[in-house]
Amino acid sequence: MSGSSSKGIHPIVWADGHLRLLDQRVLPHEERWVECHNALHVAEAIHGMAVRGAPAIGIAAAYGLVLDALAGRDYDAAELVLMESRPTAVNLRWALARMRAVHSLGYDARRLLAEAQLIHAEDLAQNLEMARLGAALLPLNAQVITHCNTGALATGGHGTALGVIRSAYAEGRIAQVYNTETRPWLQGARLTAWELQRENIPDKLIADGAAAHLMASEKIDWVIVGADRIAVNGDTANKIGTYALAVAARHHGVKFMVVAPSGTFDLKCPNGAAIPIEQRPAHELTELRGSVIAPVDMDAWNPVFDVTPASLIDAIVCESGVILNPDEQKIRALLG
């Protein structure tokens, strides 16, 4: 495995010529692993949410290509099945493009494995740098809200938004974390809470709909979130519910921070309207862990992401630097 992560959390493991993924669908009550032996297995794990979080998806996809390369299977077919597994997370396409560049030099499985491991190690290094930069924006004893899961489970280690919180807590800058439950997959209640409790970071779980009332009732300093794709103008796609948090934060004078590696920026995407938003099946809303909670045959509108306009974002933090009040000119100046 490349790199390391917080408190022994290693959700992506390459060992003995195959890929093991910590199944995030059953956490925190069970630690189960998905064994992947080909690109299709990895694509199914990505689409089925066994592995999730934009950076982690990209890392897993890179290893998926290696699996088929080692078996001598068709590279183009492997790339296609992985490309179609999640349409919104730009890190997936970014990682596949890096692997394609290596593949163009010759179909060499060892070279592809080295590149996948490099992507994995680089992500951890980027997380640590983003955490350093983002933590510096927080006052001492800050109270923060975070959404979904953006920690070691969603990345190559340490995390993006949760990585900032980890490092800020170590520096004495965090007094309280409020993490949303994050319907319908409950990544905040299941995964973020699990990571925070493992490190004894003071946290309280809140319902998604309680965030605005919390901002009105308590002194919240920052909302800190990750991203699945950032358009060149700064519009940001992230887990559904992020946009509502940004609107509430602006109304209540709470700062709003997006934390994501440079691979999450899509400099060819002009704005949020051009970001494809994945629609998930209705049963994810009408059922809860297999139990039906809505009327039988109830239809549902279930976008898994929304887009927060750049005008509602106070800072975007990536490993290359901090962009305050982001716009296209500032993003291009930092990332070229």
Q: In sequence order, what DSSP letters do the residues of 79-106 get, joined into one string? A: HHHHHTS-SS-HHHHHHHHHHHHHHTT-
Collapse the DSSP code of 269 into the 3-class scheme (helix H, G, I; strand E, B; otherwise coil) and give the result. Answer: coil
SS3 182: coil
Helices 161-170 and 109-135 pack at an angle, to 10 degrees, of 50
Alpha-carbon span 72 to 108, nearest angstrom: 10
Cα–Cα distances in angstroms (integers) from residue 174 to residues 115, 136, 145, 192, 286, in the given order: 36, 11, 11, 16, 36
Question: What is d(CA 127, CA 224) in angstroms, rounded to the nearest whole number?
Answer: 14
CA distance 255 to 303: 25
> What is the H or E stretch that residue 292 is in?
strand 291-292
- In which order are the strands placed within the sheet that holds 236-239? 265-266, 229-231, 236-239, 305-308
The one catalytic residue among 228, 266, 306, 314: 228
What residues have CB less than 8 Å from 284, skipping those under 6 apart? 184, 185, 300, 302
CA–CA distance, 99 with 61 (Å, rounded to integer): 10
- Asked if 32 and 68 touch (Cβ cutoff 8 Å), the reply is no
Alpha-carbon dihedral of residues 86, 89, 91, 96, nearest 10 degrees?
Answer: 30
In angstroms, the CA 148 to CA 128 distance is 19
CB 235 within 8 A of CB 267: no
Told to judge if 221 belongs to the known catalytic residues of this protein, a careful annotator would answer no
Active site residues per annotation: 228
